[in-house]
Structure 1
Amino acid sequence: MPFLAVERACEDPLLARKIGAKAPSGGDRPDTFHAALRPAFRVRRAFGLAQRPRDASAAIWTNARDRVRYERPQGHTISLYLRGGEGTRRLGRQMASGRPGAVCVLPQGHSSEWEISDTFEFVHLYLPDAEARRYFAEAFERDARLMVLPEATFSDQPRLALAMERLAGAVRSGESLAAEEAMGEALGLCLSAGVGARPCLKGGLAPHLRRRVIDHVEAGLEDALRLDDLADAAGLSAFHFQRMFRESFGVSPHSYVRRRRVERALHLLAGAGAIAEIAFACGFTSQSQLTRVFKAETGLTPACYRAAAKA
């Protein structure tokens, strides 16, 4: 998983787009990183779970004497003030200001405007909506459409603040495993608000079918899983299963199985098994296929990941 320390320029196309450096054409989609286009905003450290827009990432920012507006941003943002913040206020809301330890949560599509009169530093956790819903469905075994991320401005949430402090420490040190753990803890705390909700949903897989499909995937990760096999486990046609699976999990069956294979590989790489053996144990046809998929998902090859985990 790559670690990136950035000031104002970056060779990486994705991060370059986020910090305002020139990047290849193709169009920027609005997200909370667009604030870095302003001269006062600077990236101190940035950390990505993978170099793809659909994955979670974290960054430590600093800013001073500025006004920033987020217009219906894509993705969700969780922020913690690490230093300063007393000179920051959200326009159109209560007169409260930021402070060290204050938490802000900005769900996707929520516009906001901020006035900054003094220097501060904070850590941001950026979560694409699809990734957040996938995590919610897997972690809480609930339909992805039930996910709720409550908005918060300068709130006191000690457990979430502690998780974000751990994330900031991992971003600064470039420790990928620690960053993953902190991201998962912070996301779990934020998304637990939707666990108790039980509205009547149309479409999607029933809870017992979701559990049956998950069990089928886990039992067959080392084998070649076919869409028809997963559909049979749910008692549905392949066409209807694919649509209902995406509604319930927030991702396609292929993406879900691919991620589970990589997550199993992550676990096995902590041991001493040969990488080729791990590839077959996770359902890949060869070590080269594992390497290609693993790097696409995490940003590192299996060998580099193992070396980093043992460092």
Structure 2
Amino acid sequence: MTALDQLQVFQSMHASPHARLELSAQLGDGMAAALWSNRHDARDYEAPSHHTLSCYIADGTGTFRRERPGTKGAPDKLCIMPAGCVSNWIVNGSIRLAHLYISEEQFALGCVTLLDREPRELQLREADFIEDPQQARRFHQLIGLNWAEPGERLLTSSLAHEILSHAILGQVGQREGLRLKGGLAAHQRRQLADYIDCHLEQSIGLGELAGLCNLSEYHFARMFRESFGLPPHQYLLARRLAKARQLLSGSDLALGEVALMCGFASASHFSNRFRQAVGATPGAYRVALQGSMAVQPLAPRG
């Protein structure tokens, strides 16, 4: 989980004498959120290592990109600032806006599970002041929750997943000037993804996965990371946690059963891993989400 003080866009806002942080929270799964108020300011974001999705909650009609002064914001307008992009902003008058910060690893998972594509092939398309009522509604719901209360913070995390999935499905394009080297063949990547999802309840070793591709463990681990955007153990854990979230929200299975079905050695190991990733125990997650909000399902790949 990335600390807020390591997020460049967050830190640029926090360093401003004009901006005021109203709310902030770590949401688990490589995501964080913040609600800001700002007035008469200039902010520069220098190629951050994370993605930022923003929604103008109120005002913002005097906000624009320095190089495009004729195009201005407005309430419910959304901006997409991908990792690695430089952007320079002028704020004339007042603005209130929400930010959702997303790690490269979480974006990579979405590319693999939602689009069945290699993350290195794709990029989140930069966009200013787009209209998307469904996304704007999610942002308004998100800031309406009490992020300091554990149960409502879990609901916030669920909404953040929905916002990210929507952006990946609608705002991702082919990376320009792409020349891929190394990595796994497309059929190998699909075979591995299917195999992992079909055997989550079992112990899956690196050698077992490497054997499916007839590669040494060393070369397999390197090529897996090229094609999946994260190492094998991290991808496997993410898929196990995704299945656990699905089972916790959609079934009444005992926590021990959920742990075994998702490949965790024990209920305590499951609880520790889940809490590290999500910020709450599996039991607290179930209480917060079951019957209150549909959790993002185990993502398809096709």
Per the normalisation by structure 2, the TM-score is 0.84
Q: By how many angstroms is 1:102 displaced? A: 1.4
Q: How does 1:19-98 map to 2 (within 5 A)?
A: 28=6, 30-50=8-28, 55-98=30-73
Give the Cα–Cα distance (whole angstroms) in 2 for the partners of residues 155 and 94 of structure 1: 16
- The answer on 1:182 being equivalent to 2:159 is yes
Give the Cα–Cα distance (whole angstroms) in 2 for the partners of residues 153 and 161 of structure 1: 14
Name structure 2 gaps, 5 residues minimum: 293-302
- Deviation larger for 185-194 or 73-82: 185-194
Q: As a proportion of its length, which structure holds more strand?
A: 2
Partner of 2:252: 272
Between the two proteins, what is the percent identity of the paired residues? 34
- Deviation larger for 280-289 or 156-165: 156-165
Partner-residue secondary structure (3-state), 1:59: strand
Q: By how many angstroms is 1:85 displaced? A: 0.3
- The answer on 1:304 being equivalent to 2:279 is no
CA contact (8 A) 1:58 1:171 kept: no
Partner of 1:105: 80
CA contact (8 A) 1:32 1:70 kept: no
Partner of 1:291: 271
CA contact (8 A) 2:247 2:253 kept: yes
CA contact (8 A) 2:40 2:94 kept: yes
- The answer on 1:143 being equivalent to 2:118 is yes
- The answer on 1:14 being equivalent to 2:3 is yes
Partner of 1:225: 204
Partner-residue secondary structure (3-state), 2:165: helix
CA contact (8 A) 2:155 2:288 kept: no
CA contact (8 A) 1:140 1:195 kept: no
Counterparts in 2 of 1:14 and 1:142: CA distance versus 1, 3 Å: closer
Name structure 1 gaps, 5 residues minimum: 2-12, 18-27
Q: How does 1:191-270 map to 2 (within 5 A)?
A: 191-192=168-169, 193-194=171-172, 201-270=180-249
Partner-residue secondary structure (3-state), 1:109: coil
Partner of 2:94: 119
Give the Cα–Cα distance (whole angstroms) in 2 for the partners of residues 234 and 194 of structure 1: 29
Q: Figure out how many residues of one structure are paired with residues of the other and give that number.
A: 286
Alignment-mate amino acid for residue 14 of structure 1: A
Alignment-mate amino acid for residue 37 of structure 1: A
Give the Cα–Cα distance (whole angstroms) in 1 for the partners of residues 248 and 155 of structure 2: 16
Give the Cα–Cα distance (whole angstroms) in 2 for the partners of residues 137 and 195 of structure 1: 14
CA contact (8 A) 1:138 1:249 kept: no
Structure ranking higher on relative contact order (CA contacts 8 Å, 6+ apart): 2
